[in-house]
Amino acid sequence: MREDESNWFSKWEEELPPPEELMPLSQTLITPDLALAFDIRNPSNNSASHPHHQQQTPPPPPPPTAQPPSSNPLAHSQPSSAEFAADSGELGSGAAGDEPARTLKRPRLVWTPQLHKRFVDAVAHLGIKNAVPKTIMQLMSVEGLTRENVASHLQKYRLYLKRMQGLSSGGGGAGNGGGGGLAVSSDPATDHLFASSPVPPHFLHPVRPNSDHFLPFVPMAALQQHHQQQQMAAAAAAVAHPHMQPQYHRQMGPFGSPPNGQFEHPFLSRQTQQPVHRMGAPGHNQVPSYVEDLESANGNGARRVLTLFPTGDD
DNA sequence: GAGATAATAT
DNA sequence: GATATTATCT
């Protein structure tokens, strides 16, 4: 019985993505403040083109405390880059100028296989029992990730699990047979994302009321220190998702910042606790490999989407 | 279909 | 009141 768990646990450890793969997420979400600081906003469509209910809060006075005027590393690179030039010129209209960056809606979070994996890992460690949005979120330690993000994803994920349960129990044969692990189950066409990460066994069958021995609190950061060779995970993901290329190096964010432009978001630092930022190597520029992909151009409803990973589509 | 958001329940 | 879960919308 317990062997099952130690089994998948080992696997779990092995599959832990290296820091490199995890980093991107931390910078992924740009807070309104940050966006404002950089003068970033929607390229093509602005509030103007949306007669909808875009939740435009007009009068939110920007807090005077928003600006850490100290030596902000990123302050040096103002939106003067060529790329930005066009940018700023374009969105000159609209209300971006004084629009409440405070109330800007975050772009949709894109659950990449890596991110989802982290999610599954967290859930696995917490156990279905304790796997609630908040806890999961904390365990994931992904800055910018909100409880709602997790909740929403969790909802879908549970649905997915349910589906699988039904399939394995009702189908009888069920190739995958609760063994879980390998994603040889339902067609990836239906649940691409979910299929990308193995589902711990006990996820499917009813958690037996054993003496709950859930791990107190294992900051993944701690575990990560030991492993850093599971690139395979990424590879596997890539296989499942040929669309995206696992090139985690690509340091040119939306800010067109130079390689040495370290990003430090005082704004983002707000999560519960950040024991020790992985990526130890002090003095090493932690240029995150992320890319912000603004999806727009559709006169209809251009919605901004943040891609956590380089799409390599240039 | 994915993710966010509103509504409702605990 | 905060968080979780469910339902609905985009």
Reading chain A (314 residues) residue by residue, the pLDDT tens digits are 545 545 555 555 555 555 444 544 444 444 444 444 444 444 434 433 344 343 344 444 444 333 333 333 333 334 433 343 334 334 344 444 444 555 566 788 889 888 898 898 888 888 877 889 999 998 888 888 899 999 999 999 998 888 877 666 554 444 444 444 444 444 555 567 787 777 766 666 655 554 444 444 444 444 444 444 334 433 333 333 333 433 333 333 333 333 434 433 333 333 444 444 444 444 444 443 333 333 333 444 445 555 544 444 44
The pLDDT of residue A229 is 39
The pLDDT of residue A129 is 78
A101 three-class SS = helix
Whether any strand C atom is under 7 angstroms from the Cβ of A129: the reply reads: no
Q: Which nucleotide is nearest to A159 (CA to C1')?
A: C6
Residue nearest to nucleotide C2 (CA to C1'): A134
The pLDDT of residue A76 is 39
Helix or strand (DSSP H, E) at A109: strand A108-109
Q: How far is CA A191 from CA A17, A138, A143, A183, A185, in A?
A: 21, 25, 26, 11, 10
Encoding tokens for residue A16? 């832990």
Whether any strand C atom is under 7 angstroms from the Cβ of A50: the reply reads: no
CB A207 within 8 A of CB A128: yes
Q: Which nucleotide is nearest to A109 (CA to C1')?
A: B3
Q: Which residues are within 8 A (CB) of A137 and not within 5 positions of it... i.e. 6 or more apart?
A: A145, A146, A147, A149, A150
Q: How many CA atoms lie within 13 A of A32 on its CB side?
A: 16
Q: What is the pTM of this model?
A: 0.49
End-to-end CA distance of chain A: 50
A179 three-class SS = coil
Q: Which nucleotide is nearest to A130 (CA to C1')?
A: C4
Strand C, nucleotides < 7 Å from a protein CB: these are 3-7, 10
Whether any strand C atom is under 7 angstroms from the Cβ of A138: the reply reads: no
Q: In whole angstroms, what is the distance from residue A136 CA to residue A284 CA?
A: 30
Q: What is the dihedral of CA A224, A229, A233, A239, to 10 degrees?
A: 160
Q: In whole angstroms, what is the distance from residue A213 CA to residue A207 CA?
A: 12
